[in-house]
Structure 1
Amino acid sequence: MSNYKQGLDFAKSQDQNDPISSYRNQFHIPKDKDGNDWLYFTGNSLGLQPKATKEYINQELEDWANLGVEGHFEAKNPWMPYHEFLTESMAKIVGAKPIEVVIMNTLTTNLHLLMVSFYQPTKTKYKIVIESDAFPSDRYAVQTQLEFHGFNASEGVIEWKPREGEELLNIDDLETILEEQGDEIALLLIGGVNYYTGQYLDIKKIADLGHAKDCMVGIDLAHGVGNIKPDFHNSGVDFAAWCTYKYLNAGPGSLGGLFVHEKHAHNKDLKRFAGWWSHNKSTRFNMRQPLDIIPGAEGWQLSNPPILSMAAIKASLDMFNEVGMDALRAKSEKLTGYFEFLINELNNEKIKIITPTNPKERGCQLSIQVKDADKNLHKQLTEANIITDWREPDVIRCAPVPLYNTFVDVYKMVEKLKEILNR
């Protein structure tokens, strides 16, 4: 859609014609002291709370109070198989088969557990490719994996960098890296959507390039899950991991999820760290059985899961299941397109959007670079109850989330930004 228009009336008309606008009412929107809704654009850091979440958690608190340990089997949603209640919805969101997905642990823990299996270096093929501006947690995970295996991290990490004077990654440069050093590379671990620029990378192309050089390919989808359609199964990536507290609105520090491609589902010879929950469900309580790994992603589980966190995830995933990723993605592309249009209409030389202009190449985040800015601009937005995210040295990250942000939110945010810049 390119026929955006200036003015509040246009924003209001878009909201009136938005088929999923009613879902905003299913969230708690923080308010200022006068009772006005904040303009909340930080779903890329922490999603807002669905109103249903309290009810879902209270159900488990009630069952715990009334049933004690019997809740594992007798609760309304029995705790023993609770993670299974999330699998199908989560698989739809990431484009996977149910056997390929499980909710467990947290993001970086899952990345480490997956690298136990999928990072199997040799003396000559041990290097790991990451984005030059990968999220710090990914960088630290990769660095310590290399050191754990006895390699020098400064030699073992290969950075896929933007070209001189550019902010975005070019897939041709990754191809060049693999052509030149593929025989030394064991793993590609790439953020599907870059946290800083919001660039949505071609996951299938990355998998194809890596596999052509006999490398394993993993994706960190923290900034993409719930706002892009990664189509993991068809992409062919070996594994992926993500968190649920950003676009999936599951609460601060909530559990993560992981994907292991079906081609690895029945390979019990893959090295892994195992625990009680990795073992065959039918004999798990016999206690003295030798390890019998569950097929699929469930085979990477370690322990019985925290039910209260899973209840919050279930509240959100039930909503996602109702809305569907097609509707969310369609609105997201319109929202970021409208946001981009308004920013460009400011004609302000100080500001530049570093996120790709093609809506198909970005998540629901726009990263606005402000020339000669310091954190004071972000502070002034926050004081106006416009909640964005500052990233050094000069970028404001804004994520209009399709489930609860509106076109009017975007309009008001840009009007306030214009006012601050003109002071």
Structure 2
Amino acid sequence: MSFHHSLEFAQQLDAQDPLAKYREEFHYPQHNGKDVIYFTGNSLGLQPKRSQKFVDDVMKDWKEMAVEGHFYAEKPWWDYHERLAEGLSKIVGAKKEEVSVMNTLTVNLHLLMVSFYRPTGKRIKILCEEKAFPSDQYMLQSQARYHGFNPEDVIEEVKKRDGEHFWRTEDILDKINEVGEELALVLMGGVNYYNGQVLDMEAITKAGKEVGAKVGWDLAHGVGNVKLNLHDWGADFAAWCSYKYMNSGPGNASGIYVNESYLGQKDIPRFEGWWGTKKETRFLMQPEFDPIDTADAWQLSNPPILSVAPYLASLELFDEVGMDALVQKQKSIVAFLEFVLKEIDKEVDSTFEIITPEERGCQLSVFLHGEGRPLFDYLMKNGVITDWREPNVIRLAPAPLYCSYTDMYNFGQILKEGILSK
């Protein structure tokens, strides 16, 4: 599509957008009585209006039934989390039984590494991307030390080429083959938090498996953002948070995927707890663990229902819209944002450098050469909520469920005003 740099054109795109009505499903922070332009769904998604009822229902059941709510609530707490599995399986490209909801992201990655990082002989190494998200780095380092290794001897990083801001797939594949029979685990962020790059997860998974390694994905920035096919790709495991593109609320429950080939196994290495046992035998209080035949076997304790409730509310929205429609708008609105940035760049004495490659989801990361933190502060003071990363990068994530093309145009005008007002 050919874009035009005008408010009227942006409004025309909104009028033609089949997802435009979903803006009314969300609450927006206000600035001078107007909705803000919200670019930080890659950090915390906006609150769906329907979330309140889901939480209120749980509070009402707790008030009126107390412990009996586990079995007699309209949505009994006993199996509440199971209601999320089908919707999540569609979003991550998995079978329903391969998905579960529990804990938080880094907790789940640690638990999954118990099962899938099993160093033996010379196969001890872990492959990740250079400058992975700090929590992933800390997790991998601590796992290496737990197994008695020096992290520097075990963790291999795939680096970007000099002068480039993204990873090349061929470099990742070459590194996998170079480490080869020493490689125990590939664990990377499927969508990079800093530059917004979507890695070729299918090719990387295939290459890792071919050298005999297990392959897992941190999908904090991937779930609800890009099209995933974890089962068909043959990934061993994955985990994600739910409060970014999934709009479930701050610090909310995480999700996991475990490939069906590992389900129903009693002898798989795993930290185990009561809620991972089969429902039929759970209250018999048996001394031996009897795993559920699904990814729920990795659950330790009963899920936090007040945390899971808004996640279920958001999943209703995703189920109504479908990932294909979301991805279609995502591509269009991000392309329009890129167009707006380039048009503004022509009008001001600054240079914008988009460091996000074409393999991307909702996010554009932009170097603002010649600009500093005062420009970010100007944006925030004028109703644009975005994210600043040192030294001079802003991350812009126009989530397709609630961002509009008019937002993109208006952002460009505010950006231009901020630069020219110096």
> TM-score normalised to the size of structure 2?
0.97
Match of 1:352 in 2: 353
How far residue 289 of structure 1 moved from its aligned partner, in angstroms, is 4.1
Greater Cα shift, 337-346 or 240-249: 337-346
For 1:160, the equivalent position in structure 2 comes to: 158
| Structure 1 equivalent of residue 416 of structure 2 | 418
Query: In the alignment, what sits opposite 2:21?
Result: 22
Name the amino acid aligned to 1:412. Answer: N
How big is each residue's C-alpha offset from its partner over 1:223-249, in whole Å with a ceiling of 9 and x where there is no partner?
111010111111111000000000000
CA distance in 2 between partners of 1:402 and 1:179 (Å): 38
* 1:157-207 superposed Cα distances (whole Å, 9 cap, x missing partner): 111111110001011111211222112111111111000000011111010
Amino acid at match of 1:113: L
Distance 2:161 2:296 in 1: 40
Contact 1:280 1:294 in 2 (8 A): yes
Aligned-partner Cα distance in 2 for 1:376–1:158? 38
Match of 1:4 in 2: 3
**Which residue in 1 is equivalent to 2:266?**
268
Q: What residue number does 1:239 align with? A: 237
Alpha-carbon separation, structure 1, partners of 2:70 and 2:106: 28
For structure 2, list consecutive stretches of 5 or more residues without a partner in the other structure: none
Secondary structure of the 2:224 match is coil
* Aligned Cα root-mean-square deviation (Å): 1.1
Q: Per-residue CA shift, 1:82-122, capped at 9, x if unaligned?
A: 00111100111111110110011000000000000000012
Cα distance between partner residues in 1 of 2:58 and 2:264: 33
Counterpart check, 1:100 vs 2:98: yes
What are the ranges of 5 or more consecutive residues in structure 1 without an aligned counterpart? none
Which residue number corresponds to residue 123 of structure 2?
A: 125
Residue number in structure 2 paired with 1:406: 404
TM-score normalised to the size of structure 1?
A: 0.97
For 1:117-149, what per-residue CA distance to the aligned partner results, in whole angstroms no more than 9, with x for missing partners? 000012411111111021111111101000000
Match of 1:211 among 198, 209, 212: 209
1:13 aligned to 2:19? no
Q: Which residue of 2 aligns with 1:202?
A: 200
Q: Which amino acid aligns with 2:167?
A: L
Q: State the AA in 1 paired with 2:5.
A: Q
Q: Distance in 1 between matches of 2:170 and 2:339?
A: 29
Counterparts of 2:306 and 2:195 in 1: how far apart (Å)? 33
Q: In 1, distance between residues paired with 2:208 and 2:267?
A: 22
The CA deviation at 1:347 is: 3.4
Q: What one-letter code is carried by the residue in structure 1 that aligns with 2:10?
A: A
SS of 2:255's partner is strand
Q: Aligned pair count? A: 418
Partner of 2:313: 315
Query: 2:110 matched to which residue of 1?
Result: 112
Distance in 1, matches of 2:390 and 2:184, equals: 32
Equivalent position of 1:139 in the other structure: 137
Contact persistence 1:283–1:289 (CA under 8 A) = no
Alignment of 1:221-370 (within 5 A): 221-347=219-345, 349-356=350-357, 358=358, 361-370=359-368
Which letter maps to 1:44?
N
2:265–2:291 Cα contact (<8 Å) kept = no
Mapped partners of 1:98, 1:409: distance in 2: 36
Misfit runs of 4+, over 6 Å: none
1:41 is aligned to 2:39: yes
Q: Hey, what's the Cα distance between the residues in 2 that align with 1:413 and 1:235?
A: 38
Task: Report Cα offsets for 1:295-346 as digits up to 9, x if no partner.
Answer: 2211100000110111110110011111111111100000000001111223
Q: Deviations over 1:346-367 (max 9, x none)?
A: 33552111111x3xx1110110
Q: Distance in 2 between matches of 1:24 and 1:178?
A: 43
Contact map agreement 1:47 1:250 (CA 8 A) in 2 = yes
Which whole-Å CA distance do the structure 2 matches of 1:179 and 1:418 have between them? 47
- The residue identity in structure 1 corresponding to 2:207 is L
Give the letter for the 2:353 counterpart: K
Q: Distance in 1 between matches of 2:62 and 2:160?
A: 52
Residue type of the alignment partner of 1:104: M
Aligned equivalents of 2:386 and 2:5: distance in 1? 22
Specify the SS of the correspondent of 1:286: coil
Distance, in Å, in 2 between the alignment partners of 1:372 and 1:235 is 43
- Deviation, 1:414, is 1.3
SS at match of 1:81: helix
Distance, in Å, in 2 between the alignment partners of 1:398 and 1:347 is 16
Q: Is the 8 A contact 1:143 1:153 kept in 2?
A: yes
- The offset of 1:374, in angstroms, is 2.8
1:421 Cα offset (Å): 2.0
- Give the structure 2 partner of residue 395 of structure 1: 393
Contact 1:240 1:260 in 2 (8 A): yes
AA aligned opposite 1:29: Y
Q: Which amino acid aligns with 2:20?
A: S
